[in-house]
Amino acid sequence: MKLLPALLFCASLLPADNPAAPEQAARGATFFSQSCATCHSLEGKGTAVGPDLTRIARVPPRGILVAIRSTVTQYVFLVKPKDGVAFAGIQPEGQSFWWDLDKLPPEQRPLKPDQIESQQTNTKWKHPPSKSDYSTRQLADVVAYIKWVGYQSRETIDPDSLE
Closest approach, Cβ 44 to ligand HEC, in A, equals: 17
Q: Which residue's CB is nearer to ligand HEC, number 39 or number 79? A: 39
In whole angstroms, how close is the CB of 152 to ligand HEC at the nearest point? 19
Between β-strands 87-90 and 77-81, what pairing exists: parallel, antiparallel or unpaired? antiparallel
Which CB sits closer to ligand HEC, 24 or 73? 73
77 touches 85 (CB < 8 A): no
Min CB(153)–ligand HEC separation in Å: 15
Cα(125)–Cα(102) distance, integer angstroms? 8
Closest separation between CB of residue 85 and ligand HEC, Å?
A: 19
Q: Is the Cβ of residue 83 or residue 133 nearer to ligand HEC in the bound state?
A: 133
Nearest-10 Cα torsion for 44, 37, 62, 139: -120
Contact between residue 89 and residue 100 where contact means Cβ atoms under 8 Å apart: yes
- Point out which residues bind ligand HEC (CB under 6 A): 35-36, 38-40, 49-51, 53, 55-56, 64, 67-68, 73-76, 90, 106, 127-129, 142
- The answer to whether 116 and 79 are in contact (CB under 8 A) is yes
